[in-house]
Amino acid sequence: MMSLFRKKSVADFIDDSRERSKLKKTLGAFDLTLLGIGAIIGTGIFVLTGVVAAEHSGPGLAISFIISGIACVFAALCYSEFASTVPVSGSAYTYSYATFGEIIAWVLGWDLILEYGLACASVASGWSGYFQGLLAGFGLNLPAFLSSAYNPAKGTYFDLPAAAIMLLITFLLTRGVKQSANFNTLIVLIKVSVVLLFIFVGLFYVKPVNWSPFMPFGISGVITGAATVFYANIGFDAVSTAAEEVRNPQRDMPIGIIASLLICTVLYVAVSLVLTGIVPYTHLDVKDPVAFAMQFVHQDWFAGLISVAALLGITTVLLVMSFGQSRLLYSISRDGLLPKILSSVNPKTQIPGFSSWTVGIIVALFAGFIPLGQLAELTNIGTMWAFIAVSIGVLVLRKTQPNLQRSFRVPWVPVVPVLSVIFVGYLMVHLSRLTWIGFMVWFVIGLAVYFLYGRKHSALASTQHQANGKMLDTE
């Protein structure tokens, strides 16, 4: 039992990253902030807003985003403390290894593999929908059997655009981290400009009468909406996976995590108010609500511009999520819990190429064959577990290692971490039964992988075994 909870010290993590990391340090606070915005603003703002307003929150969608944002801010503060204390790739997996031990770290890592993988696949499916809509505007259409995921009843077998964009993103990621960050920066600036333009133009068409009733489904609808739009805030945690590629992680990581989340929450709330002020919430159950709002007020030229911005926005989400997934596999593999080939680094580009292509190919197949609805259901729960673990981890590490150097400290401990656990836990109980069942199945598979492979190949176990052997030889 003791071996299951063996811990890797913070000092060992930092020493290992200095000695063994072959990743290139090129990112700064501005790059990290835009990576976070690139991951957060996408499907949430361009797709989820309409469905959640129509089915759960009504005009109270703005409150749903505020509640979800508050829950994420508490978690973001906890992530920031860990990111400045343990500036190593791996996000919640790495933090849990230093705090709770190997088995808990593995569960969190396996959990994050689910989160990033399904998020990428579901976003790729959403990208395909927008792309095909854009093609249709020019009178072009893909053959039905290549237009959507496997559904013989509808004559669809493979979503070719979803798989193709995933492979294209993977190719870009393997060119180099700075090149990927520069591409992300350009696209983020374009899509944020379009979002701000929508808010400005939309204000002239807002009719306050559309905000009444403000919460047509009651407070329970707003809470359910908050649990649903939680998906829209997923992404800031992916920033923490870039720690080993940041020039000054102790300073820049907290800035990137917190700034990206705050900026996106403000934009979400503003878009929600303008959107439901332009269009009655009952009309918003559409796949492209922001573009639809401009069509509703006969600004068709702007609707087309928004569709292009949505396509670009979703592309950056894919980029950052794929980046996070490959760095997660890199970290877990370096610790021996997954095959070592996943932590191999291309000497020329200084990128974990094998893990990047592994992620790209598997996600492309998922996005190509599995329908979007089934992909999106499991994404939220993986993130929520990670947020709770990181929040509790701050409390544990403050107690067990109070003198540890922390460049950023969560304010008002233990209040903020406890509030993070309460807010996120409350949203978790509103997830569907099917989501919980799927998560438990994934959990059981993860335990099997750990006991059949990870436990035997753990680098920490090997190190401790060698240390014990030396002690016996000395005696």
pLDDT tens column, 145-160: 888 878 888 888 899 9
Using an 8 Å Cβ cutoff, are 425 and 302 in contact?
A: no
Total domains present in the chain: 1
Could you tell me if residue 52 is inside a domain?
Answer: yes
Using an 8 Å Cβ cutoff, are 272 and 61 in contact?
A: yes
**Sign of the dihedral through C-alpha 408, 414, 415, 419:** positive
Could you tell me if residue 130 is inside a domain?
Answer: yes
Half-sphere exposure at residue 240, Cβ-oriented, CA atoms within 13 angstroms: 31
- Average pLDDT of the chain is 85
Could you tell me if residue 50 is inside a domain?
Answer: yes
Rounded Cα–Cα distance for residues 148 and 156 (Å): 5
Residue 159's SS3 state is: strand
Using an 8 Å Cβ cutoff, are 47 and 289 in contact?
A: yes
Helix/strand/coil percent split, the chain, to 5: 80, 0, 20
Q: 226-253 pLDDT, tens per residue?
A: 887 876 777 777 788 787 888 888 889 8
Q: 182-239 pLDDT, tens per residue?
A: 888 898 898 899 899 999 999 999 999 999 999 999 998 998 888 878 767 777 777 8
- The set of residues, in sequence order, having a beta carbon less than 8 Å from that of 19 and lying 6+ positions away, is none
Cβ atoms within 10 Å of 55's Cβ, excluding its own? 16
Could you tell me if residue 202 is inside a domain?
Answer: yes
Amino acid at 429: V
Q: For the chain, report the end-to-end CA distance as a whole number of angstroms.
A: 26
Q: 421-468 pLDDT, tens per residue?
A: 998 888 888 777 877 888 888 889 999 999 999 998 898 877 765 555
CATH assignment of the domain containing 460: 1.20.1740.10
Give me the numbers of helices (H) and strands (E) for the chain, helices first please: 21, 0
Could you tell me if residue 475 is inside a domain?
Answer: no
> Locate tokens 């039992």: which residue?
1
Could you tell me if residue 287 is inside a domain?
Answer: yes
Could you tell me if residue 47 is inside a domain?
Answer: yes
Could you tell me if residue 474 is inside a domain?
Answer: no
Residue 246's SS3 state is: strand
Give the length of the chain: 475
pLDDT at residue 444, as a whole number: 93
Q: 374-410 pLDDT, tens per residue?
A: 555 566 777 788 889 899 999 998 998 888 888 889 9
Query: What residues make up the domain containing 158?
Result: 2-469
